[in-house]
Amino acid sequence: MVKRCAVALLPIAVLMTGCDREVEQTVRAHMKDPSSVTFRNVERCGGDGSTVWRGEYNGKNSFAAYSGYEVFHVENGVVEFNSTGPIATKCMAEMKAYTRQIIARTKGTTR
């Protein structure tokens, strides 16, 4: 069963959906200080139908200092903290396919 999430947009901010929170909790579970982790750019790789998520996280290291934003990918509860693994590769493929779909739709409506 694929869980669908809708995003509610406000003029100033984007409200987080339940799916975003689940992804963030999955990433937090791998951190030394889960409560210190901040996120940005958390999104599905291939649009609403994708099961692969990507984003950036920043958390405290062993010296209690923030280490800077780094990329993560999540699929079905599995977290990948690099940009070269199989989940990241799948994400890139989904993003390319999704972009092609958008371009094709745009070309079809501009004629």
41 vs 49: CA distance, rounded Å: 18
pLDDT score for 107: 83
pLDDT score for 4: 37
Question: DSSP per residue over 63-77, as a string?
Answer: TS-B---EEEEEETT
pTM for this one?
0.75
pLDDT score for 81: 94
- Residue that wins the pLDDT comparison between 17 and 56: 56
- pLDDT (mean) for 49-67: 92
pLDDT score for 50: 86
pLDDT at 61 > cutoff 60: yes
